[in-house]
Amino acid sequence: MKKPLIKSISKYVKLNSEEENLIETFWIEKTLEKGDYLLRNGETCKTDNFVVSGTLKAFYINSETGKEEIVYFAIENWWATDIDSFQKQKPSIYNIQAIEKTILLQIHYDSFQEMLRKVPKLERFFRIILENYLGSLQRRIVLNHVLDAEQRYFDFIEKYPKIANKVPNYLIASYLGITAEFLSRIRKKTRTS
Amino acid sequence: MKKPLIKSISKYVKLNSEEENLIETFWIEKTLEKGDYLLRNGETCKTDNFVVSGTLKAFYINSETGKEEIVYFAIENWWATDIDSFQKQKPSIYNIQAIEKTILLQIHYDSFQEMLRKVPKLERFFRIILENYLGSLQRRIVLNHVLDAEQRYFDFIEKYPKIANKVPNYLIASYLGITAEFLSRIRKKTRTS
Residue A68 lies in a domain: yes
State how far the Cα of A175 lies from the Cα of B55, in Å rounded to an integer: 32
State how far the Cα of B135 lies from the Cα of B162, in Å rounded to an integer: 19
Candidates B130, B145, B148; nearest CB to A130: B130
Cβ atoms A163, A154 nearer than 8 A? no
Residue B157: which H helix or E strand, with range? helix B149-159
Cβ atoms B45, B106 nearer than 8 A? no
pLDDT at B113: 98
Q: For the segment A14-51, what is each residue's pLDDT rounded down to a tens digit?
A: 999 999 999 999 999 999 999 999 999 999 999 999 99
If DSSP codes are grouped into helix, strand and coil, which group holds residue B1?
A: coil
* Segments forming the whole domain that contains residue B21: 3-119
Mean of per-residue pLDDT scores for chain B: 93
Residue B41 lies in a domain: yes
Pick out chain A residues at pLDDT < 70: 192-193
pLDDT at B192: 65
Cβ atoms B66, B126 nearer than 8 A? no
Sheet holding B47-53, edge to edge: B28-32, B102-108, B47-53
Residue A152 lies in a domain: no
Residue A176 lies in a domain: no
Could you tell me the CA-to-CA distances from B57 to A160, B72, B78, B96, B102 in Å, in that order? 30, 6, 12, 6, 11
Q: What is the pLDDT confidence band of residue B74, given thresholds at 50, 70 and 90? A: very high
Helix pair A169-176, A180-192: axis angle to 10 deg:
100
Candidates B71, B130, B145; nearest CB to A62: B145
Candidates B60, B137, B146; nearest CB to A142: B60
Q: What backbone torsions phi and psi does residue B71 show, to the nearest 5 degrees?
A: -85, -45
Angle at A8 between CA A7 and CA A14, to 5 degrees: 70
CA B147 and chain centroid, separation = 23
Residue A179 lies in a domain: no
* Mutation for A interface: B84, B132, B143, most A CBs within 10 A: B84
Candidates B137, B142, B148; nearest CB to A137: B137
Cβ atoms A58, A96 nearer than 8 A? yes
Q: Report the Cα–Cα distance between both ends of chain B, in Å, rounded.
A: 43
Q: For the segment B116-140, what is each residue's pLDDT rounded down to a tens digit?
A: 999 999 999 999 999 999 999 998 8
Question: Which residue type is seen at A11?
Answer: K
The C-alpha of B94 sits at a distance from chain A's nearest C-alpha, in angstroms, of 8
C-alpha Rg value of chain B to the nearest Å: 18
If DSSP codes are grouped into helix, strand and coil, which group holds residue A39?
A: strand
Bridge partners of A98? A56
The closest of A97, A91, A116, A16 to A49, measured between CA atoms, is: A97
**CATH no. for residue A47?**
2.60.120.10
Residue B27 has pLDDT above 90, yes or no: yes
Could you tell me the CA-to-CA distances from B127 to A43, A76, A93, B12, B114 in Å, in that order? 24, 22, 22, 10, 17
The total domain count for chain B is 1
Residue A171 lies in a domain: no
- Per CB-CB distance under 8 Å, the chain A contacts of B85 are 135
Cβ atoms A70, A59 nearer than 8 A? yes
Cβ atoms within 10 Å of B115's Cβ, excluding its own: 18
CB under 8 Å to B180, separation ≥6 — which residues? B169, B170, B173
Q: For the segment B144-185, what is each residue's pLDDT rounded down to a tens digit?
A: 888 888 898 998 999 899 998 889 888 999 888 888 888 888
Query: Is residue B42 less than 8 Å (CB to CB) from chain A?
Result: no
Residue B14 lies in a domain: yes
Which pTM was predicted?
A: 0.92
> Which chain B residues in 109-128 lie under 8 Å from chain A, judged by CB atoms?
116, 120-121, 123-124, 126-127
Dihedral of CA atoms B183, B188, B191, B192 in degrees, nearest 10, equals -140
pLDDT at A54: 97
Residue B81 has pLDDT above 80, yes or no: yes
Interchain CB distance below 8 Å, B137 and A136: no
If DSSP codes are grouped into helix, strand and coil, which group holds residue A130?
A: helix
How do beta strands A28-32 and A47-53 pair? unpaired
CA A74 and chain centroid, separation = 3
